[in-house]
């Protein structure tokens, strides 16, 4: 009796081996930590509360009042431009997060930045960072933008108000609102030194922030 295998049997074995290799490769790529991207926060069951913060724009245009030492600054938020960023700011405002936070970096003729509870420019809230929502909306006097690190998707709680036209920021930072009243009080915020890139000694702070309307 011949010891040679039937060609059909060998073909079946080869196909079975290929199937195992392909299926194994798929599993490796799908589930290995370096073979698939890290899941974003909205994929996590543990962060369902945060999912509500990053809700889609539903036509509501909230207004925020920011109390400074000089007076009230009224900011018209723009969820039509950056719905997730605006939702996060509104949520943090309702929590009282911004009350007492300082303007840690203020550059004359450029912008005033706040929103960091550590006052260093390196901190943020406990809510997740937000993916970029860049638009072509120009950065002109009174526009409010979200601060971020080098990563476009790193904005969290820090924001800045522009003193003058800053077109070089266009399309690079998410626009979240605009000052419609009280810009003169933003002008009065204590400025930082040029040598320290705007870092402020004994900085001014936000006395309080509140959502006053959603029209």
What pLDDT does residue 4 have? 52
What pLDDT does residue 158 have? 98
Give the residue numbers spanning the domain of 166: 59-214
What pLDDT does residue 180 have? 98
Question: What pTM was computed for the model?
Answer: 0.74
Q: For residue 53, is it within any domain? A: no
Q: For residue 67, is it within any domain? A: yes
What pLDDT does residue 183 have? 98
What pLDDT does residue 59 have? 79
Number of domains within the chain: 1
Q: For residue 145, is it within any domain? A: yes
Q: How far apart are CA 187 and CA 212, in angstroms?
A: 23
Residue ranges of the chain with per-residue pLDDT less than 70? 1-57, 214-215
Q: For residue 7, is it within any domain? A: no
Contact of 210 with 65, CB cutoff 8 Å: yes
CA 199 to each of CA 4, 187, 192, 203: distance values in angstroms, whole numbers, following the listed order? 82, 16, 5, 9
Q: For residue 33, is it within any domain? A: no
CA-nearest of 156, 205, 176, 164 to 79 is: 176
Query: Can you give the CATH number for the domain in which 162 is found?
Result: 2.40.100.10
Q: For residue 105, is it within any domain? A: yes
DSSP of 2-43: --PPPHHHHHHHHHHHHHHHHHHHHHHHHHSTTTSPPPPGGG
Q: For residue 14, is it within any domain? A: no
Q: For residue 44, is it within any domain? A: no
């Amino acid at each position: 009796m011949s010891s040679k295998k039937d060609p059909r049997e060998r073909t079946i074995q080869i196909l079975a081996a290929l199937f195992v290799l392909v299926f194994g490769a798929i599993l490796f790529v799908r589930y290995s930590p370096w073979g698939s991207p890290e899941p974003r926060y909205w994929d996590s069951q543990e962060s369902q509360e945060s999912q509500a913060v990053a809700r889609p724009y539903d036509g509501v245009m909230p207004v925020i009042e920011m109390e400074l030492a000089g007076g009230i600054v009224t900011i018209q938020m723009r969820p039509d431009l950056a719905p997730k960023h605006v939702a996060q700011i509104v949520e943090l405002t309702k929590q009282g997060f911004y009350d007492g936070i300082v303007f840690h970096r203020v550059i004359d003729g450029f912008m005033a930045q706040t929103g960091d509870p550590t006052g260093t420019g390196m901190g943020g809230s406990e809510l997740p960072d937000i993916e970029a929502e860049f638009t072509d909306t120009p950065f002109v006097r009174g526009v409010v933008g979200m601060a971020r690190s080098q990563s476009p998707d790193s904005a969290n709680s820090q924001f800045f108000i522009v003193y003058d036209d800053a077109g070089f920021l266009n399309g690079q930072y998410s626009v979240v609102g605009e000052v419609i009243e009280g810009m003169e009080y933003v002008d009065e915020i204590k400025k930082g030194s040029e040598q320290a890139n705007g870092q402020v000694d004994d900085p001014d702070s936000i006395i309080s922030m509140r959502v006053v309307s959603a029209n």
